[in-house]
Amino acid sequence: MSLVNSHENRLLLETVQAFMKAELHPHEDLVDKLGEVPLDLGRQIEKRAHEAGLYAANLPEEVGGGGLSLEAKTIMEREFGKTSHALHSWVARPTELLLACEGEQRERYLIPCVKGEKRELFGLTEPEAGSDVMGMKSNARRDGDDWILNGSKHFISGPVLPDFAIVFAATGVDESPRGSRKRVTSFLVDTGTPGFDVRDGTHCVSYRGYKTFQLSFNNVRLNKRQILGEEGRGLELAGQWLTYGRIFVGASCCGKAERLMGLATEWAASRKQFGQAIGKFQGTGFKLADMATELRAADLLVEDAIRRANEGNLTDADISMVKLYCSEMVNRVADNTVQIYGGMGLMEELPVQRLWRDARLERIWDGTSEIQRHIISRAILRPLGA
């Protein structure tokens, strides 16, 4: 990967690889079978991540983080893609949205997350507002200097019960050339606030052990100081998170595909049928060739997006191309790996079936493949007035 283009980035890559080998990979089967990361194991991973300098490595040095460049963060996320989200999420990368904290918010929310004293959740998705963010029903109304929050969120993922959530809610309506549009504001809502309920949500077959939570708000009273950023500018904040989040998802997919490719190659070289390694048959060898080619193309898309971001000309379509292609690619690689393994690819004793299940979620979260295609096609047609 050409992003590993400096001594510092090479050291980071080696550090992450060594950490995963020692602290994450050994627990994959246990977590998949239990459907959870035991709390003592999660806290152990957190502690070791602090010791390795990986905790909060994505945030700037001036707030106590690791100050990694965009290239370095992408390298880290690509490696973490090779294991379960349930495990590597304990190596906390607090959301960059918290950099919007001001005044007392920094000491109450940002700094504790950097130190590992608090955990946050990102609360945007709702039962009837997934891809259609404007369908959001959660709302907050003014009451003097306070806001009263009502509504619910689901599919809110994280490794452990949060200390607070960044919650997006409609706080009014703006008029635009295209008609009325909801004003959306982000709030910092502490767990334990009266009317705020957090409970375990549904269980996903992908990334078993990575929790989903359901959040509900019943007349939750919030002080105006709990607005993150500016009132009515919540979607702009969310967009900043989704921008690089989708690039990191793409990089993570490349990492997972590389691991799958390694497993498929080893199996194709060692498994013998009709007197020779199955990799020598075109039906298998050509699959490996296609997998390697698609992985190279996906890595290049990620690297191109990083270059464009550093140059200041990254577009929404560029981001969507990364998310779309990489997530679709890893699913093709996973499916071909299962096919190369044959029946053994679906046996719980081997990691292939787990990686195959995990890959399926990548085409859905952080914006479905259909949403990415919509963004790309809109960018193609817009210059023609369509």
- Spell out the per-residue pLDDT of the chain, length 386, in tens: 677 778 889 999 999 999 999 999 999 999 999 999 999 999 999 999 999 999 999 999 999 999 999 999 999 999 999 999 999 999 989 999 999 999 999 999 999 999 999 999 988 888 876 666 777 889 999 999 899 999 999 889 988 889 999 999 999 887 777 767 888 999 999 999 999 999 988 888 999 999 999 999 999 999 999 999 988 888 888 777 677 889 999 999 999 999 999 999 999 999 999 999 999 999 999 999 999 999 999 999 999 999 999 999 999 999 999 999 999 999 999 999 999 999 999 999 999 999 999 999 999 998 899 999 999 999 999 998 86
Distance of CA 86 to the CA centre of its chain: 11
Q: Give the pLDDT score at 132.
A: 67
Give the CB-side neighbour count of residue 282, counting CA atoms within 13 A.
0
Question: What Cα–Cα distance (Å) separates residue 378 from each residue in 117, 154, 344?
Answer: 43, 28, 43
- Nearest CA to 138 out of 78, 195, 65 is that of 195
Structure tokens that stand for 360 in this block = 């399926």
Length of the chain counted residue by residue: 386
Rounded Cα distance between 105 and 117, Å, is: 15
Three-state secondary-structure class, residue 135: helix
Whether 181 contacts 173, CB under 8 Å: yes
CB atoms within 10 A of CB 182: 19
Q: Could you tell me the two tokens for 267?
A: 């199996």
Tell me if 180 sits within 8 A of 12, measured CB to CB: no
pTM of the model: 0.93
The token pair that represents 243 in the structure block? 């921008």
Closest by CA position to 93, among listed 128, 54, 125? 54
Report CA-CA distances (Å) from 379 to 156, 250, 367: 29, 20, 16
The token duo for 350 is: 């081997």
Q: Of 191, 192, 170, 194, whose CA–CA distance to 182 is shortest?
A: 170
> Would you say 159 and 210 are in contact if contact means Cβ atoms under 8 Å apart?
yes
Q: pLDDT at position 131, please?
A: 67
β-pair type (164-176, 227-228): unpaired
Distance, in Å, from the CA atom of 202 to the CA atom of 197, rounded to the nearest integer, reads 16
Contact 28, 349 (CB under 8 A): no
Q: Which of 98, 169, 166 is nearest to 133 (CA)?
A: 169
Q: How far apart are alpha carbons 211 and 2 in whole angstroms?
A: 34
Burial of residue 380 (number of CB atoms within 10 Å: 0-12, 13-18, 19+): exposed
- Determine contact, residues 87/22, Cβ cutoff 8 Å: no
Token look-up 């979620």 returns 361
Taking CA atoms, 70 is separated from 52, 81, 133, 247, in Å, by 19, 17, 27, 10
